């Protein structure tokens, strides 16, 4: 059962207003399912939008930030809990420990880094948790094309790519990511099989 979901997203709203609108929509849908939100802690961009929306819909919100960012007073004051880490590695470890699933919305290098960390951890059997990529207005089309290229060139297995839930529809994403929990076909300990070795 998914009780806590990490949402990775931008510290900016982007140039397309749909990024913010869809972020708000999917957060409300998750909150109505009783899911609490873990996020980067920021009071800016899409991070602020999802944390405010979660609070407005009575979800518990946990922020995980780094000391350097916290010192800049960029943390949303509305959140319930705040975890302050010393490094990016420690921050990502906290996300993995505190979440049952992961959702990536439009964002920048930080969101891409977090997605890669979760995918690699699933692939190696460190965790065994669902992860979704919300492709609002085709924002991640080029990334998806790269994943497909990596499969075709033999660097990623199709089975691993299939574990990444990709859709541009908020309702479909919520339904699939909540149903996906603990439904992996391969054992999380079979890391050789997951790597295609």
7 has which bridge partners? 103
Q: How far apart are CA 172 and CA 178, in angstroms?
A: 10
What was the pLDDT predicted at 73? 60
Per-residue DSSP letter, 108: -
Q: Which residue has the tokens 């924002």?
A: 139
Residue 105: closest CA among 176, 37, 22:
22
Query: Residues for the chain: how many in total?
Result: 197
Helix (H) or strand (E) holding 130: none
**Which residues neighbour 142 within 8 Å (Cβ) at sequence distance 6 or greater?**
none
The tens-digit pLDDT sequence of the chain (197 residues) is 999 999 999 999 999 999 999 999 999 999 999 999 999 999 999 999 999 999 999 999 999 998 877 666 678 899 999 999 999 999 999 999 999 999 999 999 999 999 999 999 999 999 999 999 999 999 999 999 999 999 999 999 999 999 999 999 999 999 999 997 645 444 455 656 666 65
The label of the residue with tokens 């900016």 reads 12
End-to-end CA distance of the chain: 31
Q: What does the pLDDT read at residue 10?
A: 96
Q: Give me the domains of the chain, ranges plus CATH numbers.
A: 4-194 (3.40.50.450)
d(C-alpha 132, C-alpha 163), whole Å:
9
| pTM, two decimal places | 0.91
3-class secondary structure, 148 = helix
* Whole-number pLDDT of residue 70: 65
Rounded to whole angstroms, the Cα distance separating 92 from 180 reads 21
The pLDDT score that the predictor gives to residue 15 is: 98
- CA triplet 34, 46, 23: central angle to 5 degrees? 50
Nearest to 158 by CA among 124, 113, 191, 195: 195
Give the C-alpha distances (Å, rounded to integers) separating 59 from 164, 168, 173, 176: 25, 23, 18, 20
């Amino acid at each position: 059962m998914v009780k806590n979901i990490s949402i990775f997203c931008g510290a900016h709203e982007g140039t397309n207003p749909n990024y913010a609108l869809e972020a708000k929509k999917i957060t409300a849908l998750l909150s109505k399912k009783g899911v609490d939100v873990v996020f980067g802690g920021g009071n800016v961009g899409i991070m602020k939008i999802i944390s405010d929306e979660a609070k407005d819909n009575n979800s518990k919100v946990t922020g995980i930030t780094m000391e350097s960012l916290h010192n800049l007073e960029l943390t949303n004051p509305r959140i319930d809990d705040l975890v302050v880490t010393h490094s990016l590695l420690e921050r990502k470890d906290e996300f993995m420990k505190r979440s049952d699933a992961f959702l990536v919305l439009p964002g920048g290098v930080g969101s891409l880094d977090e997605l890669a960390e979760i995918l690699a951890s699933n692939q190696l059997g460190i965790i065994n948790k669902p992860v979704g990529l919300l492709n609002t207005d085709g924002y991640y089309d080029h990334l998806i094309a790269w994943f497909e290229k990596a499969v075709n060139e033999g660097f990623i297995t199709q089975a691993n790519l299939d574990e990444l839930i990709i859709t541009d529809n908020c309702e479909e994403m919520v339904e699939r990511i909540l149903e996906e929990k603990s439904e992996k076909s391969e054992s999380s300990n079979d890391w050789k099989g997951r790597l295609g070795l």
